[in-house]
Every structure is written in structure tokens, then in C-alpha cells.
């Protein structure tokens, strides 16, 4: 098996274990479930599960690390000279699209994160790392070597806009239009 095939197989097993974890967490509750419960439901040993995920939080939110890089890449690909706030708004469309692709799953996951303090804390850690990545890309786009305080504030504000819109969408049972909520949040902070 070549390296590429191994990586594909590993990603497939990881996805299958994450799906089993979500089923257990949705059925039993995240905080009441253990790694042993998930491993048993997936038909693997605890040690096998822990080879793919460091923690049960990682099984739920492990994909969030990559989202920061996706967001940074989306921002990097925006047209040169485009208004920063417009670029930031357009760059978050990938996040919003994932909610639209499978709204029921996204809603269940968002509720789970809202209800679990450990998941909420883990999500905040990811968002903090996204802010640094996005601020660095804003500096890069402006031809600066280092992110300024303004870059950091804009990055944090953009991520907060998405987060608050998603929270409202979740609280409303997914009935509101998430892209419209994101637009509304960004409009509220549009720099003059």
C-alpha cells in the first residue's frame, strides 16, 4: 500500500469512527458518553479509537482545525484590492455551505456543542487559532509582514459574526436562513 492509499484509508476509518461517535453522543448525550461507549458502538477497541482521536471532543470537532486553513485559503483567493470586510464575508461562505448541505446533522452538532461545556471550550480554542490565521492573511494581503491589532480585530469580528449567526440559527431550530443571518451580522459591523 503506498502512502497516498494509507492516508485515504486512515481518513475513511477516522470518518467512520467520527460518525459512530456522533450517533452515540446524539443518542446518549455527549457528557454522559465515554470513549469506551463510542469504541464499543464502532466495534473497535478503546486504543484503536484513541489512535484516531486524542479525545472524544476531537471526534466531534477534529475537523475544525482544517476549517481555519480553509478559511485562510478562501480569504487568500479573494481579489486583490477588494475591501477587507467584503473579502472576509465572502470567505466564510464555505462554513455556511456546510450547514446548508446537511442542515439536520449541522443542527444536531451545533446543539451538542452548545450543551456541552467541554465541546464549547474546544470550539473556542479552534476559533482562536482561526483568528490568528485570518489575521496573518489580512496582513499578507496588505503587504505587511506581521498582523496588526486591526487585522486581529477584523478576524475576530468576522468569526464572531459567523458564530453568532450560527447560534441564532441553532436556537431557532434551523428554520431561519443562515446566509441571511450571516449577512445581517456582517452588516451590523460594517466599517464605515
pLDDT at 68: 86
DSSP state of 79: P
pLDDT at 104: 87
Q: Which of left, alpha, beta for 79 (phi over 0: left; psi -120 to 50: alpha)?
A: beta
% of residues, the chain, pLDDT over 70: 96
DSSP state of 42: H
pLDDT at 61: 84
Q: Kindly report the pTM of this predicted structure.
A: 0.82
Hey, what's the cell of 158? 468576522
DSSP state of 78: S
CB 159 within 8 A of CB 180: no
3-state secondary structure of 145: coil
Task: Determine the average pLDDT of the residues in 110-138.
Answer: 92
Q: What is the pLDDT of residues 43-83, one digit of tens each?
A: 999 999 999 999 888 888 876 677 888 999 999 999 999 99
Q: Is the pLDDT of residue 1 over 60?
A: no
CB 147 within 8 A of CB 166: no
Task: Determine the average pLDDT of the residues in 144-161.
Answer: 95
Please give the backbone phi and psi of residue 83, each rounded to the nearest 5 degrees, phi first. -50, 135
Distance CA 178, CA 182 (A): 6
Return the half-sphere exposure (C-beta side, CA atoms, 13 A cut-off) of residue 72. 19
Question: Domains in the chain, ordered, with CATH?
Answer: 3-55 (1.10.10.60), 63-188 (1.10.357.10)
Return the half-sphere exposure (C-beta side, CA atoms, 13 A cut-off) of residue 113. 24
pLDDT at 3: 63
Distance CA 45, CA 66 (A): 26
- Mean pLDDT over each residue of the chain, to the nearest integer: 90
CB 119 within 8 A of CB 128: no
pLDDT at 186: 97
pLDDT at 157: 96
Please give the backbone phi and psi of residue 29, each rounded to the nearest 5 degrees, phi first. 95, 135
Q: What is the pLDDT of residues 28-45, one digit of tens each?
A: 988 999 999 999 999 999
Distance CA 176, CA 92 (A): 18
pLDDT at 4: 80
pLDDT category of residue 6 using cuts at 50, 70 and 90: confident
Decide: residue 165, CB within 10 A, 0-12 exposed, 13-18 middle, 19+ buried: buried
Task: Determine the average pLDDT of the residues in 115-141.
Answer: 93
Amino acid at each position: 500500500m503506498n502512502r497516498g492509499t494509507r492516508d485515504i484509508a486512515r481518513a475513511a476509518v477516522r470518518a467512520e469512527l467520527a460518525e459512530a461517535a456522533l450517533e452515540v453522543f446524539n443518542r446518549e448525550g455527549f457528557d454522559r458518553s465515554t470513549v469506551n461507549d463510542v469504541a464499543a458502538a464502532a466495534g473497535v477497541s478503546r486504543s484503536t479509537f484513541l489512535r484516531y482521536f486524542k479525545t472524544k471532543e476531537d471526534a466531534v470537532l477534529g475537523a475544525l482545525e482544517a476549517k481555519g486553513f480553509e478559511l485562510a485559503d478562501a480569504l487568500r483567493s479573494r481579489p486583490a484590492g477588494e475591501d477587507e470586510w467584503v473579502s472576509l464575508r465572502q470567505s466564510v461562505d464555505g462554513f455556511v455551505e456546510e450547514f446548508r448541505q446537511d442542515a439536520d446533522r449541522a443542527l444536531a452538532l451545533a446543539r451538542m456543542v452548545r450543551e456541552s461545556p467541554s465541546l464549547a471550550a474546544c470550539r473556542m480554542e479552534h476559533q482562536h487559532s482561526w483568528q490568528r490565521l485570518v489575521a496573518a492573511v489580512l496582513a499578507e494581503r496588505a503587504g505587511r509582514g506581521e498582523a496588526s491589532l486591526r487585522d486581529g480585530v477584523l478576524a475576530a469580528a468576522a468569526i464572531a459574526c459567523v458564530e453568532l449567526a450560527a447560534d441564532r440559527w441553532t436556537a431557532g431550530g434551523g428554520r431561519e436562513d443562515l446566509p441571511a443571518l450571516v449577512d445581517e451580522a456582517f452588516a451590523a459591523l460594517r466599517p464605515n
